[in-house]
């Protein structure tokens, strides 16, 4: 009888904890939606010309309803709708995409220190774009742009990582991680070499963008592709949320439940690589978003991927738009490339994460 009472008590505690997590999740979603709205407003308001918050949304509302703008607001309308609004939207989409990709990558390779950058895809995209600028002939003839070169570079890297990580028809998470990191270092070295080897000041400036990334070139024309690819990737990741829960535990558990871990890993790798390739081909390589945001998300709502994925989308959008606002505000009227700030902010977090992991390992060994 005592066993039955204990089991019932444990079951009720688990149910109560689950209900608390659900309430926390709903409240967190509402709060973060409000934070994203506020950050987006600030992002469209500040700059060399400050615009009141109410006027920002008045202009946005006019465009959403296709109502003509008053003549006296033409200049402000150009600043808000053609320059700042696409930058905020693109930053939100890229941040959300990198964060969701980071969630999937960490589950896929079962390593909390992994992110999209460690797969080598971001470095491949940067190397492809820089190669177009460096060699120049295709660029001057108009046959290929750096963005297209970046996309091709990411896809070539995807094929290289996949082929090198494949052994006896299988793709292990450890080989995937090691091959991705190795290629990432090699491609970064290749990109740096081209930066130093070019003697064209304009080319050096363009190469610098593809090394550190930024949102300065945001345009409305670039957003539909990013939104479509992000939507497809997120739907795919969400559909695999339960399998990601099992995959994060280990291949043995996944196989015991009838899953094919290698098959799922290949599918995730292809989908995520395409999403990352599109993002990097538009804004350049922006690091640490896919590392920082998933961990913060799991600290808030636990490890259940059906909660982690939606929350990481919001946090990723908030994080990148917020960092971009900071990048434009710190040394205004000039701006810091957003990739520089994400690296500066992400490095201390990465060090803390390593120390925390080591402390947990020591505690478990005692």
Kindly list the domain boundaries of the chain, sorted by start residue: 95-358
Considering only 194-208, 276-290, 325-339, which range has the smallest mean pLDDT? 194-208
pTM of the model: 0.86
Residue 220 has pLDDT above 60, yes or no: yes
Residue 359: band (very low, low, confident or very high) from pLDDT cuts 50, 70, 90? low
Residue 357: band (very low, low, confident or very high) from pLDDT cuts 50, 70, 90? low
pLDDT at 214: 85
- pLDDT tens digit sequence for 317-349: 999 999 999 998 888 788 888 988 998 888 787
Token readout for 303 is: 């490890």
pLDDT at 141: 53
Cα separation of 290 and 109, whole Å?
A: 14
DSSP H or E stretch at residue 341: helix 338-365
Judge contact between 279 and 147, C-beta under 8 A. Answer: no
- CATH class for the region spanning 95-358: mainly alpha
Closest CA relative to residue 216, chosen from 132, 42, 76, 337: 337
- pLDDT tens digit sequence for 43-74: 999 888 889 999 999 999 999 888 888 888 88
Cα separation of 185 and 326, whole Å?
A: 29
Across-strand partners of 358?
none
Mean pLDDT value across the chain: 83
- pLDDT tens digit sequence for 108-161: 877 777 777 777 888 888 888 888 888 875 455 556 777 788 888 888 887 888
Cα separation of 64 and 60, whole Å?
A: 6
pLDDT at 142: 56
Residue range 100-115: average pLDDT? 83
pLDDT at 271: 86
**Ordered DSSP codes for 75-114:** HHHIIIIIIIHHHHHHHHHHHHHHHHHHHHHHHHHT-TT-
pLDDT at 80: 93
pLDDT at 363: 57
pLDDT at 148: 80
Angle between helices 85-109 and 289-301 (to 10 degrees): 70
Residue 87 has pLDDT above 60, yes or no: yes
Residue 13 has pLDDT above 60, yes or no: yes
Distance of CA 103 to CAs 72, 113, 301, Å? 46, 11, 13
Percent over 90 (pLDDT), the chain: 27
Residue 2 has pLDDT above 60, yes or no: no
Euclidean distance between the first and the last CA atom of the chain, given in angstroms as a whole number:
35
pLDDT at 365: 55
């Amino acid at each position: 009888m005592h066993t039955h009472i204990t089991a019932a008590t444990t079951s009720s505690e688990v149910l109560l904890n689950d209900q608390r997590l659900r309430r926390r999740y709903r409240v967190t979603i509402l709060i973060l939606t409000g934070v994203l709205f506020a950050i987006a407003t600030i992002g469209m308001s500040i700059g060399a010309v400050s615009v009141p918050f109410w006027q920002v949304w008045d202009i946005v509302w006019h465009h959403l309803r296709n109502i003509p703008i008053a003549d006296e607001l033409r200049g402000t309308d150009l600043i808000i709708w053609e320059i700042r609004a696409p930058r905020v939207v693109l930053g939100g989409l890229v941040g959300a995409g990198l964060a969701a990709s980071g969630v999937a990558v960490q589950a896929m390779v079962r390593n909390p220190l992994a992110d999209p950058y460690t797969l080598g895809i971001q470095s491949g995209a940067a190397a492809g774009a820089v190669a177009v600028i460096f060699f120049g002939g295709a660029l001057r003839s108009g046959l290929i742009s750096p963005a297209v070169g970046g996309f091709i570079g990411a896809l070539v890297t995807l094929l290289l990582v996949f082929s090198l990580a494949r052994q006896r028809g299988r793709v292990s998470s450890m080989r995937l991680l090691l091959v991705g990191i190795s290629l990432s270092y090699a491609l970064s070295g290749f990109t740096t070499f081209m930066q130093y080897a070019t003697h064209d000041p304009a080319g050096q400036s363009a190469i610098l963008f593809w090394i550190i990334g930024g949102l300065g070139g945001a345009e409305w024309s670039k957003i539909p592709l990013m939104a479509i690819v992000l939507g497809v990737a997120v739907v795919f990741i969400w559909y695999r949320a339960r399998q990601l829960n099992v995959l994060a535990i280990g291949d043995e558990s996944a196989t015991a439940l009838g899953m094919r871990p290698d098959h799922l890993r290949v599918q995730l790798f292809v989908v995520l690589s395409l999403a990352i390739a599109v993002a990097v081909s538009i804004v350049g390589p922006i690091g640490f978003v896919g590392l920082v945001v998933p961990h913060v998300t799991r600290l808030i709502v636990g490890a259940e991927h059906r909660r982690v994925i939606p929350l990481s989308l919001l946090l990723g959008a908030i994080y990148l738009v917020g960092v971009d606002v900071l990048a434009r505000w710190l040394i205004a009227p000039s701006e810091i490339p957003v990739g520089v700030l994400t690296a500066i902010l992400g490095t201390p977090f990465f060090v803390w994460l390593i120390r925390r992991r080591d402390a947990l390992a020591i505690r478990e060994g005692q």
